[in-house]
Chains A and B, each alone.
Chain A
């Protein structure tokens, strides 16, 4: 699978993010979506999304800002942050994405919970990569998959993230190919909001 040469996917650190996560994410984006990646900071401060009563950040306004600030050459923008994200109905989310849209965001905050005593870094990076691809998958119009081993499966806990593989199931692969063809034909698709854990 390979994406169009003109476009790239932008990885955007939001706030203070450990640079170690970028390399494996960029490698997997290229392997799965076929696009080049660039790292461009777009947002320093996400105080506008802070809910002081919850001490958490509402992911939807951050997404909207990322989509607004992304350079026109960016096919998609993936925000990466360490702050704890939420949507009003749920106590927290790992990330949120615009379905068939342009922006998505992933928080590493909860992905650090319950890591094994040995191989901590490897396990953490594995989780971050899987969820980053998952959120990007939504921007390519992929919905949650019922196959618990598929990257697009919905994860309720870090255990679920650990359990799923680093691959899309064969159905999601076909759907991704279709979406990418559509994307190449018409890059400016509509952007309904979509979120996920």
Chain B
């Protein structure tokens, strides 16, 4: 069996030295602590594989050590040592996450067998973790992460459209990863060796957009001190990604339409026609058909862009991806900030699952980044995610108490996917009362 780093925690020197001597004989690296306090101090600096902890100690007891250790490192194997008469305490320890317990007196050979068994199960756990990681890899496509049916369909679609040269229109709410999808199409296309040039149409003022897209000749306008190539020219041989296309002005829509039709354009102030070979991918969070109806978006440009289109699902439509995404962001930000945070508490994850994420994946990413920055321990806790706890808008002053109650009940029901038991628990009423209120307020799923 493998060599382990073992910490023996006991207030009796005789026990520490006897067990240390025995385990060192098996090739393990052994250190000792004479109290729970010393053990917790040592754990701050040193990582151990197995802890042997006497339950009954002066100061911090073995059970308290176990609880504190498990809070910070659930994977650390803890074996409790207890006297024959205190088996109930040992069982309590097992409930609190101890790997096993040893009853005094014991034949140290038993200890050897126990250590071997723990080593074996740790190896198994590591293998499972590796397999889990491999599975996670299979849930990624380029930089996109998801195992939901909705995301798997997106991955398939991207694989299908990437080899083609057709224009693609990606729709979906802000923060759903439209830019990542566009990049994935480019990366999987024959143009992957060429440039991927992004234009955020919503971020560039309209008067600068023409020069930004088409470039300008020196002296074309007051500030044009040098000839500058535009993004279209820069995208030659690659992909031009027009993000937030719905924000583009009418004049520019006309210019763009012309370029998309014949792929020839002029720099601002230029007389020489420029040909560029690029594929166009556009994205928007706006409903372009509604914009067309309002006269804010050109129908001909829409049809030119909407050759192949797909919608990125909102995060609330693929909540099963939240744990995967959250863990991915946690790993990334923990690495970036060099912090030892590698877990999300069950309560924090529950809150994340209940939240609607109007800002989608980007909001989740920001929430995890913030939690990593403010977190002190090894685990993200609900209090590190205050964004999920923000209050809804205050009710207008002229609503009745009944209206407020109806709205609150409806909100809780929606947050809990109409789970009556859970909703009634949160509301602090029993199920039958909740049913009668649903009936009296005429609340239904369509409300």
Contacts and interface: CB of A to CB of B under 8 A. Distances in A.
A and B interact physically: yes
Interface of A: 54, 60, 86-91, 93, 96, 99, 143-144, 146, 148, 154, 156, 160, 192-197
B21 A154 contact: yes
A91 B21 contact: no
A89 B22 contact: no
B74 interface: no
Interface residues of B, number: 19
Given A89-B15, A195-B14, A144 B104 contact: no
B25 interface: yes
B6 to A, nearest CB: 14
B17 A143 contact: yes
Contacts of B12: 89, 193
Nearest to A148: B25
Interface in B11-25: 12-15, 17-22, 24-25
A192 B13 contact: yes
Contacts of B25: 148, 154, 156, 160
A91 B105 contact: yes
B205 interface: no
Majority-rule SS of B interface residues: helix
Contacts of B15: 87, 89
Given A146-B24, A154-B25, A160-B25, A197 B18 contact: yes
B17 A196 contact: yes
Interface in B66-82: 81
B106 A91 contact: yes
B14 A87 contact: yes
Contacts of A143: 17
Interface string B118-160: 0000000000000000000000000000000000000000000
29 contacts: A54-B105, A60-B14, A87-B14, A87-B18, A87-B105, A89-B14, A89-B104, A89-B105, A90-B18, A90-B105, A91-B106, A99-B13, A144-B17, A144-B20, A144-B24, A154-B18, A154-B20, A154-B22, A154-B24, A154-B25, A156-B21, A156-B25, A192-B13, A194-B13, A194-B14, A195-B14, A195-B17, A197-B18, A197-B21
A196 B24 contact: no
A194 B15 CA distance: 8
Interface in B84-108: 104-108
Interface string B321-335: 000000000000000
Nearest to B25: A156
A195 B81 CA distance: 18
A90 B17 contact: no
Contacts of B17: 143-144, 194-196
A146 B15 CA distance: 17
Best-buried of A89, A93, A99 by chain B (most CB within 10 Å): A89
A197 B109 CA distance: 14
Nearest to B23: A154
Nearest to B81: A89
Contacts of B14: 60, 87, 89, 96, 193-195
Given A89-B15, A89-B104, A154-B24, 10 more contacts: A86-B105, A88-B83, A90-B107, A91-B105, A96-B14, A99-B13, A148-B25, A154-B21, A154-B25, A194-B13
